[in-house]
Amino acid sequence: MQATEKRKKTNKNKKYMLVRYSKMNMLGLFEHHENRLPKQPTSVVVKTGRGLELGHLVGGLASYKDGNFRLSASQMAEYYENDENQNFEKLGEFVRFGNKEDANEQRHLEQISREEIKVCEDYVRELGLEMKIVDAEHIFGGERIVYYFMADGRGDFRTLVRKLASEYQTRIEMRQIGARDEAQILGDYETCGQQCCCQRFLQALKPVSMRMAKVQKATLDPGKISGYCGRLKCCLRYEDQTYTELKKNLPNKRTCVRTEYGEGRVVDSQIITQLVVVDHGDGKRVAVSVDEIEILPNKRNCRQKPKNGDNNGNNAKANGNSNGAANNANKNNTRNNNGDRKAGKAKNKNGNKANSGR
């Protein structure tokens, strides 16, 4: 019992910091024993399953209490809307804070990685492999080199890995990525003037559909709604939930409604302003707030006449009936006249026949 209580106390007293590392902007909690954490953005050296890596501390001073990050792993996953493939478990240990020498070493490794990409591309052409080398990441501690590549389907890259391993005498990891991951590594700034969201803060690159663009009534021009990766922009997801919830408050098109101007049908709506455009059937369209309309049963026929114009409508009907009766009378008169004319012609023909007989 005493041993279990001691374990609980030691686990409770552990302190963790949130660190972002790797070119794929991975996040993880790392155990540390520091009494104080710096107030300004700081680089840190951490030990992960891949080896020693250089990252930077995430969260301001308010995010930590007594040197421990406030949010739990589940709270962080919910905040970043993470997917099932990513977690915020305790990934490793904090080694030390970064310094100028570490920054210089990191820049040196980035220069070396460019040469490593060229060597890998030469081997790809030599072996006739159908793949595109996007980038290479030389781990800070030198434990491995990670190659990010794109390819259609899966292939056998074991020969390539053996050649690279013998070339650099270290472990080689080949990681296949998609178009969005490529933008996360190589992208810089988007048309909005901001750095690509996938580079700056997005943790999980979830799919974006054309329905989101249609609901937000954004332009459907692919050149304007596509990002650096050639896919639909991730920012279309940001307001999709709000648009979807607000759209539920609005009636569908051709729905019969009653407003202060009378009955009519819905012809259009505006999601953000929550306005409904109603056609009253007399060429008059009015934009009314959704709170000021009454939805009528679907089976009911809309009169589509304003209340103030009911008398005018009745007069118009009466005039229409009288005009219709007059038209019918005129038609009957024309029929009678035509009949008389035909009868007259028949008599004349008979008379002519009789005279010719004589």
Of 181, 189, 241, nearest to 211 by C-alpha is: 241
Of 273, 275, 272, 267, nearest to 293 by C-alpha is: 275
Q: What is the rounded distance in angstroms from the CA atom of residue 350 to the CA atom of residue 123?
A: 112
Neighbours of 233 (CB within 10 A): 22
Q: How confident is the model at residue 61 (pLDDT cuts 50, 70, 90)?
A: low
Alpha-carbon dihedral angle through residues 192, 195, 201, 205, given to the nearest 10 degrees: 70
pLDDT of 67 strictly over 80: no
In this predicted model, what pLDDT tens digit does every residue of 284-315 receive, in sequence order?
A: 888 999 999 888 886 556 655 544 444 444 44
Of 74, 84, 176, nearest to 134 by C-alpha is: 176
pLDDT of 232 strictly over 70: yes
Q: What is the rounded distance in angstroms from the CA atom of residue 185 to the CA atom of residue 194?
A: 16
Domain 103-177 coded CATH 3.30.300: yes
pLDDT of 59 strictly over 80: no
Give the model's pLDDT for residue 314: 45
Average pLDDT over residues 4-8: 45
Looking at per-residue pLDDT, the higher value among 130 and 333 belongs to: 130
User: Under a CB-based contact definition with an 8 Å cutoff, are residues 136 and 146 in contact?
Assistant: yes
Q: How confident is the model at residue 133 (pLDDT cuts 50, 70, 90)?
A: very high
Give the model's pLDDT for residue 317: 44
Beta strands in 153-306 (DSSP E): 171-176, 256-259, 262-270, 275-279, 285-289, 294-295
Strand partners, 94: 46
pLDDT of 340 strictly over 60: no
In this predicted model, what pLDDT tens digit does every residue of 142-200 receive, in sequence order?
A: 899 999 999 988 888 899 999 999 999 999 999 999 888 888 888 778 888 888 888 77
